[in-house]
Structures are given as C-alpha cells and as structure tokens.
C-alpha cells in the first residue's frame, strides 16, 4: 500500500474564544502567550517538525493580529540588527514563513469546527491533510504530530490523537468506540461527540490533532448541505469508521487545554518551569505561594 505523504495542515482559528472574554474581544485567542510565545507558534513548530510545508489558516473577523504575526517586520529587524541583537533576530526567524507557504481564508460564520475545516477544501484538494487546533498545546519529547505521522506511515487512513480521560470528563470530548486495541494504535468502529459518562464507549478521548483523508471533506460537504447549527468534525470522521479506517493514536506527552482558563494557567506554570532562564526564580515564587496558601488554611 502506497501511503501519500502529508504536507498540508489546516489550523482552524475562526472560533470566537468566548471563554476568554473580554480579552478575546480584540486579541485572537491563538495570539495569547505561554511565557513569551503565542499559542499558534507552538502549533506551527509542531507542524514543521512533522514535515508540513503548507499552512492553511481558517480565520474570521478580528484575527488580523494573527496574520501580522507571520509577516516580516523590517523596522524591528533593522533596529535589532543595528543594535547587534543577533539572539533576538534568531528568535524572530521562528515567525517567518517561506513565500507562498501560508494561506489565510475566512470562515464567514462560526458554524463549527467541521465547517471551518470544510472551508479549506479547495486548498487541500485530493490529498491527506493534518488538522491542528492551537488551543491544544502538547508538551512532548517528540512532537505529537510527528509521532502520529510515523504511526500513519504504517496504517494510512485517518488518525486522531487520543488520550485516556476519567468517565466524568468524557462529555467534554469526542470519544472513540474501539474495535481493536493494538497498544499505541487503536482501530475505531465509531466516535461519539460529547457523550454522557454512562454512554461513553471507551475512556479514549480525541484531542486536537488529526490526519485525515479527503473523504472526510466529502462527508463534511454532505453535512453542510443537510445539517443546521454547528457542523461537527467528529461526525464526518465517524462516518469513515463504517467504510474506511479510523485509528486513534495514544500519543506520548502532556496535553494542555489552553482553550480553558484552568488549562491555560496550568500550561503557563508547566512551560514557565520548563524554561531554564525562569525555572529557579519562578519555582521559588510558586513554592512561596503554596506555603502562604497552606498557612492561610
Ligand atoms: P472551541 O470549541 O474552543 O471554540 O473551538 P472557540 O470559539 O475557539 O472558543 P470558546 O468555546 O468560545 O471559548 C475549537 C477550535 O475550533 C475552531 C476554534 O478557533 C478552535 O481552534 N473553530 C471553532 C473554528 O475555526 N470555527 C468555528 O466555527 C468553531
């Protein structure tokens, strides 16, 4: 079986980010920073490490800061160059994209994640593609999408990142119905969006990394024509469990839900403590905070 290489990735960033209002009234959620890097930078780095060459952003009104972020900034670069700040120039390089490697298109109405991915159909064409939700930040020795690509090279088909969650949390995720458990890789026979704890078919929840076949886009096409309200990506992938192959991949790493306030704060602490330049001072401060909290109880 010849498995086609995945070189395109879709970043759906058209959501309204209501959980972070009022900040997201004027700042795209994806530009909010973990330590000193915006969420979107973590997702781009992960995609690059996995061999992605074309980056497709599905945006909406009010996201121009996101587009500016990936532009060259000649004035800033000149100033830094004149001041001999080569280290900072090096950091800025991470934000540069090759000409033509990045595309922005608009989702004109927030009709859901499935609809956002469907909006990119013409740029994807008839190829497998990756989808990364920048809200999900994953700390891992080997980046999560790269792990998935390696597994996908053996399986082909569709692959979703999966992690174990306790039953009471299942209702926040799409959950896999497992046909065969092969360890890191599971074959799915179904996928249920946000089931109640008692209805969850397993404890394997899908998080925001996907490798998908173009068939998922045709499934979304039918849903777009038929359904009202939000168009779920989960439903279009679940459709493929009947005829095609859908695999869950238990990635190695720690995922942070940066679309929620608690998850964002947890990620800030974890990434702050992981930074050699901050670890000592920040760690000492956290210890003091914990001691103060305990004393106050
Ligand atoms: P969320 O469910 O987190 O929604 O979307 P949201 O609007 O970003 O945030 P809240 O819930 O209002 O706080 C998951 C991902 O899907 C994208 C979002 O940008 C995010 O990356 N999305 C969601 C779209 O691109 N379009 C949509 O219509 C909905």
Q: Are 108 and 217 in contact (CB under 8 A)?
A: no
- 189 within a domain of the structure (yes/no): yes
Cα 252 to ligand 1 centroid, rounded to whole Å: 25
Closest by CA to 148, choosing from 248, 4, 257, 3, is: 248
Query: Is it the case that residue 108 has pLDDT exceeding 70?
Result: yes
| Residue of 10, 14, 15, 261 to test ligand 1 pocket, by largest number of atoms within 8 Å of CB | 15
- The domain tally of the chain equals 1
Ligand 1 nearest-atom number relative to CA 12: 25
Whether residue 107 lies inside any domain: the answer is: yes
Q: What's the gap in Å between 227 CA and the centre of ligand 1? A: 18
Q: Report d(CA 107, CA 3) in Å as an integer.
A: 30
Does residue 200 lie within any of the structural domains?
yes
| Residue 296 forms part of a structural domain | no
Pocket of ligand 1 (CB under 6 A): 12-19, 29, 58, 107, 110-113, 115-116, 133-135, 259
Ligand 1 site-directed mutation target among 44, 171, 206, 259, most atoms within 8 Å of CB: 259
Contact 175, 202 (CB under 8 A): yes
Shortest-distance atom of ligand 1 to CA 133? 21
> Quick check: 135 and 42 in contact, CB under 8 A?
no
Q: How far is CA 286 from the centre of its chain?
A: 28
3 state SS of 211: strand
**CATH code of 77's domain:** 3.90.550.10
Q: In the numeric block, which tokens belong to residue 1?
A: 């079986």
Q: Ligand 1: distance of its center to the CA of 250 in Å?
A: 23
Q: Which atom of ligand 1 is nearest to the CA of 29?
A: 8
Q: How far is the CA of 235 from the centre of ligand 1 (A)?
A: 16
The tokens for 189 are 């026979």
pLDDT at 97: 84
On whether the CB atoms of residues 24 and 31 are closer than 8 A, the answer is no
80 SS3 class: helix
pTM: 0.94
3-state secondary structure of 87: helix
- H or E stretch covering 179: strand 174-181
Cβ count within 10 A of residue 39: 25
Tell me how far apart the alpha carbons of residues 180 and 157 are, in angstroms, rounded to a whole number: 15
pLDDT of residue 224: 65
Q: What is the pLDDT of residue 225?
A: 56
Residue tagged 């608690």 (tokens): 262
Cα separation, 74 vs 203, in Å, equals 50
Please state, in angstroms and rounded to a whole number, the distance separating the CA atoms of residues 134 and 258.
Answer: 8
* Closest C-alpha residue for ligand 1 atom 7: 15
At 31 the three-state DSSP class reads: helix
- Residue whose token pair is 């174990």: 164
From ligand 1's centre to the CA of 13, what distance in Å? Answer: 7
Report how far ligand 1's centroid is from the alpha carbon of 133 (Å): 9
C-alpha–C-alpha distance, residues 103 and 254, integer Å: 29
Average pLDDT of the chain to the nearest whole number: 92
Q: What is the mean pLDDT of residues 152-160?
A: 95
Q: For residue 202, what are the domain limits?
A: 8-259
Predicted confidence band at 227 (pLDDT cuts at 50, 70, 90)?
very low
> Rounded to the nearest whole angstrom, what is the distance from the C-alpha of residue 198 to the centroid of ligand 1?
26
Indicate if the pLDDT at residue 116 is higher than 50: yes
Q: Considering only CA atoms, which of 117, 123, 131 is closest in space to residue 232?
A: 117
Closest ligand 1 atom to 58 CA: 25
Q: Is 151 exposed, middle or buried (0-12, 13-18, 19+ CB in 10 A)?
A: middle
| Mean pLDDT computed over 74-96 | 90
In the predicted model, is pLDDT for residue 126 greater than 90?
yes
Model pLDDT, residue 231 = 83
| Pocket probe mutation, ligand 1, options 28, 30, 113, 208, max atoms within 8 Å of Cβ | 113
Q: Please indicate, yes or no, if residue 47 is contained in any of the structural domains.
A: yes
Q: Is residue 19 part of a domain?
A: yes
For the cut 90, the answer to whether the pLDDT of residue 100 exceeds it is no
Q: What residues form DSSP beta bridges with 180? A: 187
* pLDDT score of 71: 85
Mean pLDDT, rounded, for 51-62: 94
162 located within any domain: yes
Mean pLDDT of 13-37: 93
């Amino acid at each position: 079986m010849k498995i086609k290489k995945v070189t395109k990735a879709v970043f759906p960033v058209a959501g309204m980010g209501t959980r972070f209002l009022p900040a997201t009234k004027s700042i795209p959620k994806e530009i909010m920073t973990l330590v000193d890097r915006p969420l979107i930078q973590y997702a781009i780095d992960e995609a690059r490490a996995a061999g992605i060459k074309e980056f497709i952003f599905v945006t909406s009104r009010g996201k121009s800061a996101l587009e500016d972020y990936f532009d060259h900034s000649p004035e800033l670069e000149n100033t830094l160059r004149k001041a001999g700040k080569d280290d900072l120039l090096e950091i800025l390089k991470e934000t540069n994209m090759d000409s033509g490697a990045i595309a922005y298109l608009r989702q004109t109405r927030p009709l859901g994640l499935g609809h956002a991915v469907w909006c990119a159909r013409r740029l994807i064409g008839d190829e497998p593609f990756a989808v990364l939700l920048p809200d999900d930040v994953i700390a891992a020795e080997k980046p999560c999408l790269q792990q998935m690509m390696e597994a996908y090279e053996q399986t082909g088909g569709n692959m979703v990142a999966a992690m174990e969650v306790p039953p009471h949390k299942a209702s926040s995720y799409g959950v896999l119905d497992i046909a065969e458990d092969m360890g890191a890789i599971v074959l799915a026979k179904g996928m249920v969006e946000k089931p109640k704890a008692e209805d969850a078919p397993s404890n394997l929840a899908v998080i925001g990394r996907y490798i998908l076949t173009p068939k998922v886009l045709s499934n979304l096409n039918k849903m777009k024509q038929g359904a009202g309200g939000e168009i779920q990506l989960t439903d279009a992938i679940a459709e493929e469990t009947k005829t095609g192959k859908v695999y869950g991949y238990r990635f190695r790493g720690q995922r942070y839900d940066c679309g929620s306030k608690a998850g964002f704060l947890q990620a800030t602490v974890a990434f702050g403590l992981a930074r050699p330049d901050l670890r000592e001072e920040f760690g000492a401060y956290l210890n003091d905070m914990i001691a103060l909290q305990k004393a106050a109880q």
